[in-house]
Chains A and B, each alone.
Chain A
Amino acid sequence: KQEVTQIPAALSVPEGENLVLNCSFTDSAIYNLQWFRQDPGKGLTSLLLIQSSQREQTSGRLNASLDKSSGRSTLYIAASQPGDSATYLCAVRFQGGSQGNLIFGKGTKLSVKP
């Protein structure tokens, strides 16, 4: 079964810390992996997309890595700010899945304290 797991479920850090969010998936046959941010009661905002042939992607203070063979991805947030507080979701598009369907983890709820 194709599954995505995110650890930890929740994380609280003081402002300024660097942090890592983890995502693991059960099948290495993927098209891509996408990280999203979700604010309470809101939709999903795409942060980074990593194709299966790529090892990492960067956008500002965010860096996402992909190790397809081990079924893992990490989202690194540098110099965290209170505005980074949100739920971060990892989603994988597996080969052989429904037309472009993303399989989501349950997310990591991040709280950055001032």
Chain B
Amino acid sequence: SQTIHQWPATLVQPVGSPLSLECTVEGTSNPNLYWYRQAAGRGLQLLFYSVGIGQISSEVPQNLSASRPQDRQFILSSKKLLLSDSGFYLCACLAGGSTEAFFGQGTRLTVV
């Protein structure tokens, strides 16, 4: 089965600083990849998804962007962080031919 790696596990960044969160997948090829954000007291919200290299779809307008430079690599970025970007960011994978989603261990981002 696939394994999803996310790093870093925790991050504290000042307002206005850049952001780069990385997600890599092992054990599958050509997966659908997703970035979710989980804010306190709220459900998981889909931010971006990708069905292939260079293909990114955004679900909500925001201060963030995503890129998929390689088949099993998904990156979440920002040029200038806002306080409202704080949250728990989760990467998810839907492997080809499977309908079961798997998640990474998440990154806790605190913008101060």
Contact = CB atoms under 8 A, between A and B. Distances in A.
Do A and B associate with each other? yes
A12 B78 CA distance: 40
A26 interface: no
A99 B100 contact: no
Interface size class of B (residues with CB under 8 A): 20 to 34
Contacts of B88: 41
Interface size class of A (residues with CB under 8 A): 20 to 34
A99 to B, nearest CB: 6
A1 interface: no
A41 B108 contact: yes
**Chain A contact residues: helix, strand, loop or mixed:** strand
Interface in B96-112: 99-106, 108
Interface of A: 4, 31-32, 34, 36, 41-46, 49, 51, 89, 91, 93, 98-102, 104-107
Which 3 A-B pairs rank lowest in CB-CB distance, beginning with the nearest? A44-B103, A43-B105, A104-B44
Given A93-B99, A102-B46, A107-B43, 12 more contacts: A32-B99, A36-B103, A44-B92, A49-B99, A49-B100, A98-B59, A100-B94, A101-B46, A101-B49, A102-B92, A106-B41, A106-B42
